[in-house]
Amino acid sequence: MLSDEFLCFHTRTRLSEASLGIGVSISRLPRTGEIRTVKAANDLLCLRAFGKNKIRKSIGNDSFSHWLPLYFGEFDKYVTKKQVFDEKEEQYIMVEKEVDPKERMVHLLKKSLCFLTTGNTRKPFKASMVLEVMPKLIITHIVDMVDEKKHMSIVAIRRLVNYIRLFRLLIELCPEV
C-alpha cells in the first residue's frame, strides 16, 4: 500500500520503474559562495521528468534548480529490457540488463551532491560535500515546518525521515563523514 505512494508527480512513474528524488534549490552566501540553505520540494520527481521534461516546479508551485535522489531502502535487483539496433543483423534486438537499485541510487546521489556543491558532476566525490549539503537540507526542512512555511503534514514528516535515511546511508558509505 505504501509503495503505491512512491510515484513521480509529473509522469506517475513508480519507484520500481525509475529513480525518484526531489527538486532542490540552494541559496549561497554572496561573499563566500558557501551554501546557506538547501530547500526541497516535498513532491517526488523522477530523474526523467527533471532532465528530459525540464520540470522545475512542484505541485505546490515551489521552484527548484537541482535534483536529489532519495533512498527508500530498495534492495531487490530487477531486469530492464531495452531495444537496441544490431548493425550486423540490421534489426532491433531486445537486450536485458540487471539493475541494482541501491548501486544506481548511490551513483546518482554522488553525482547530484557533486553538482550541488561544485556545479560540476565530473569532479570527484568528497565526504565534505555530504557535510555541506545534508545537514543544511535537514535543518532547513525542520525550520520551515516549525515556522509554518511548510505545511506540517504526513508528507513533510516522511520527507524528513527520507532525508535522515539518506544522510545515514551517506555516513555508512563514507565513514569519514
Q: Please compute the mean of the pLDDT values over residues 83-100 and round it to a whole number.
A: 84
Cell of 38: 538547501
Classify residue 68 as exposed, middle or buried by CB count within 10 Å of its CB (0-12, 13-18, 19+).
Answer: buried
- Residue 85 confidence (pLDDT) above 90: no
Query: So what's the pLDDT on residue 23?
Result: 93
Q: What is the pTM of this model?
A: 0.81
Q: Please compute the mean of the pLDDT values over residues 140-151 and round it to a whole number.
A: 84
Mean pLDDT of the chain: 87
Distance between CA atoms of 173 and 158, rounded to whole angstroms?
A: 22
Residue 125 CB partners (closer than 8 Å, separation 6+): 110, 113, 114
- Residue 139 confidence (pLDDT) above 90: yes
Decide which of 126 and 82 is more confident.
126
